[in-house]
């Protein structure tokens, strides 16, 4: 590499490091906040504020007690100062009528914020086939298309509303896929979850539109503990989109969500996430801690497909998983995880094959730039009874610059010999030759990187619904601005 090249590369790397987080702004909306810290009383206050039935309070308290006895996991390949759980505010609700009849009633400040986020609600309404449930801090503020969905018997609302209005469903399924004892963060979430989305697709119904939730952490020092529960009855079909952005903050913010998916016989769930929470600044200060437990269970012939594009957060700990319980069920995981500056990610999936002839596919693409560290951790377990099962895994990493790192930790357990597992892994760098080729065609280095990265992620981006794919592409560009291979 010539001296000149090295210099421009350094300049470019400098630029990435100084590239500001585009979504860093806060909104002035009055919040209803309780004092920080966690205790049995706080759990009771949260439950009371939400006017919850007794069984829900019991559920929370059991989880809280379990959490007290649990230790924060340390096995992930990330290092961070553990959050002080007594320094977090566990409930914060915007002081506005929580659920609006129409998006037009939205607080203008909030509307402005959504516009800045690029999810112009006007546009969403115009698109007319995207229903949005927005979680701002802890309470769902707007739900659209409720009626249209209602006609089909589809329930799409905040989990708080579901607890009030459909307690039998919540009671039946909550915590069945991710038990509160599952891990430290799921226990915490089960104790204090503030809001989230609930979705129920009745038997045989194909949801006619993409269901979408935008999460956003707003109040300073608040933790966000969403709880999502999605139930697809026999033979139903749904595609669910989840997008997340958080404003810039100095302290690390804690985010510990739990998502549970239930795909009953012949049901099909597609769950897509685009996450670009604040990754911290160029020195590695601040940023969101994202400790998420996502898991789905597939009954006979059912299919769950996770697609995620992760560009944000300072620390990510996340393994969307599938339990393939029913015979012939299918699990898929498509992921792009970008780390830049000082971001750390330990993410991957678990495919647990229990039923016969179950199939899983894992396509994980990691992109590391700056001084970041990206890890893929995946478990494929094929139980004794899961005869004739198949897994295909492909884990690729793309490195930009020479200060970043990437690791792959595949765990494979096969307990019968009629099943087959294939695993492929590659590590590559963006080549000088590729960049020069693009340059020679008039494409500048920044665009060339975006182009090459898009090509690299194509298999995953293709899984996303159209509008989302475009947004994800933009996010990739933003988060890699200036990085050079």
Partner 1 sequence: MLKIKDLKAGIEDNQILNEINLEVNAGEVHAIMGPNGSGKSTLAAVIAGKDEYEVVGGSIDFEGEDLLELSPEERAHKGVFLSFQYPVEIPGISVSNFIKTSITELRKATGMKPIPTKDLLKMMRDKMKLLNIKNGYLSRNMNEGFSGGEKKRNEIFQMAMLDPKLSILDETDSGLDIDALRIVANGVNKLKSKNNATIVITHYQRLLDYIIPDFVHVLYDGKIIKSGGKELAHELDERGYDWITKEANKK
Least Cβ distance, residue 434 to partner 1 (angstroms) = 5
Least Cβ distance, residue 429 to partner 1 (angstroms) = 13
Give the residue with the Cβ less far from partner 1, 5 or 172: 5
Residue ranges that bind partner 1, judged by CB under 8 A: 1-2, 4-5, 431-434, 436-445, 447, 451-452, 454-459
Give the residue with the Cβ less far from partner 1, 3 or 151: 3
Least Cβ distance, residue 440 to partner 1 (angstroms) = 5
* 466 Cβ neighbours under 8 A, 6+ residues apart: none
> Sign (positive/negative) of CA torsion 36, 37, 38, 39?
negative
Least Cβ distance, residue 3 to partner 1 (angstroms) = 9
As a whole number of angstroms, the distance between CA 304 and CA 310 comes to 19
Give the residue with the Cβ less far from partner 1, 32 or 459: 459
Contact criterion met (CB below 8 Å) for 336 and 365? yes
For 212-234, the DSSP string reads EEEEE--STTB-B--EEEEEE-T
- Distances from the Cα of 163 to the Cαs of 16, 50, 121, 188, 256, in angstroms? 45, 10, 27, 19, 20
Least Cβ distance, residue 473 to partner 1 (angstroms) = 11
Give the residue with the Cβ less far from partner 1, 6 or 206: 6
- CA 16, distance to chain mean position in Å, is 24
Contact criterion met (CB below 8 Å) for 282 and 310? no
Residue 226 has φ and ψ, to the nearest 5°, of: -80, 155
As a whole number of angstroms, the distance between CA 55 and CA 129 comes to 36
Give the residue with the Cβ less far from partner 1, 126 or 441: 441
Least Cβ distance, residue 468 to partner 1 (angstroms) = 18
> Sign (positive/negative) of CA torsion 110, 256, 61, 271?
positive
Give the residue with the Cβ less far from partner 1, 352 or 453: 453
Least Cβ distance, residue 129 to partner 1 (angstroms) = 23
Give the residue with the Cβ less far from partner 1, 119 or 338: 338
As a whole number of angstroms, the distance between CA 276 and CA 245 comes to 5
């Amino acid at each position: 590499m010539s001296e000149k090249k090295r210099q421009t590369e350094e300049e470019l790397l400098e630029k990435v490091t100084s590239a500001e987080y585009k979504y860093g702004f806060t909104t002035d909306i009055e919040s209803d906040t309780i004092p920080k810290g966690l205790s049995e009383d706080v759990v009771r206050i949260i439950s009371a504020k939400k006017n919850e039935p007794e069984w829900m309070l019991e559920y929370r308290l059991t989880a809280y007690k379990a959490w007290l006895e649990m230790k924060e996991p340390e096995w992930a390949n990330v290092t961070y100062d553990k959050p002080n759980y007594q320094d977090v505010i566990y409930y914060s609700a915007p002081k506005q009528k929580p659920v609006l009849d129409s998006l037009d009633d939205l607080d203008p400040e909030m509307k402005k914020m959504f516009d800045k986020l690029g999810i112009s609600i006007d546009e969403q309404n115009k698109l007319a086939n995207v229903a949005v449930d927005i979680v701002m801090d802890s309470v769902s503020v707007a739900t659209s298309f409720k009626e249209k969905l209602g006609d089909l018997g589809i329930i799409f609302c905040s989990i708080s509303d579901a607890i009030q209005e459909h307690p039998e469903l919540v009671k039946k399924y909550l915590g069945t896929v991710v038990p509160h004892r599952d891990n430290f963060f799921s226990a915490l979430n089960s104790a204090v979850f503030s809001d989230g989305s609930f979705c129920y697709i009745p038997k045989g119904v194909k949801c006619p539109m993409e269901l979408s939730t935008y999460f956003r952490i707003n109040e300073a020092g608040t933790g966000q503990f969403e709880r999502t529960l999605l139930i697809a009855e026999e033979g139903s079909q749904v595609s669910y989109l989840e997008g997340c952005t958080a404003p810039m903050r100095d302290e690390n913010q804690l985010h510990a969500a739990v998502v549970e998916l239930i795909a009953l016989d012949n049901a099909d769930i597609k769950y897509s996430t685009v996450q670009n929470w604040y990754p911290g600044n160029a020195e590695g200060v601040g940023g969101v801690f994202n400790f998420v437990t996502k898991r789905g269970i597939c009954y006979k012939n059912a299919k769950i497909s996770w697609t995620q594009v992760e560009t944000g957060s300072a620390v990510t700990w996340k393994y969307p998983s599938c339990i393939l319980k029913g015979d012939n069920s299918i699990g898929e995981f498509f992921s792009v995880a970008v780390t830049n500056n000082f971001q750390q990610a330990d993410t991957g999936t678990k495919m647990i094959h229990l039923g016969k002839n179950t199939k899983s596919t894992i396509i994980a693409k990691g992109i590391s730039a700056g001084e970041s560290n990206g890890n893929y951790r995946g478990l494929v377990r094929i139980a004794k009874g899961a005869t004739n099962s198949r897994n295909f895994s492909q884990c690729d990493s793309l490195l930009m610059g020479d200060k970043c790192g990437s690791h792959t930790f595949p765990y494979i357990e096969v307990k019968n010999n009629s099943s087959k597992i294939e695993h492929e892994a590659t590590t590559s760098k963006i080549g000088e030759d590729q960049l020069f080729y693009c340059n020679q065609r008039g494409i500048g280095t920044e665009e060339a990187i975006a182009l090459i990265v898009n090509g690299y992620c194509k298999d995953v981006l293709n899984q996303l619904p159209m509008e989302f794919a475009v947004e994800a592409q933009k996010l990739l560009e933003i988060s890699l601005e200036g990085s050079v291979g």
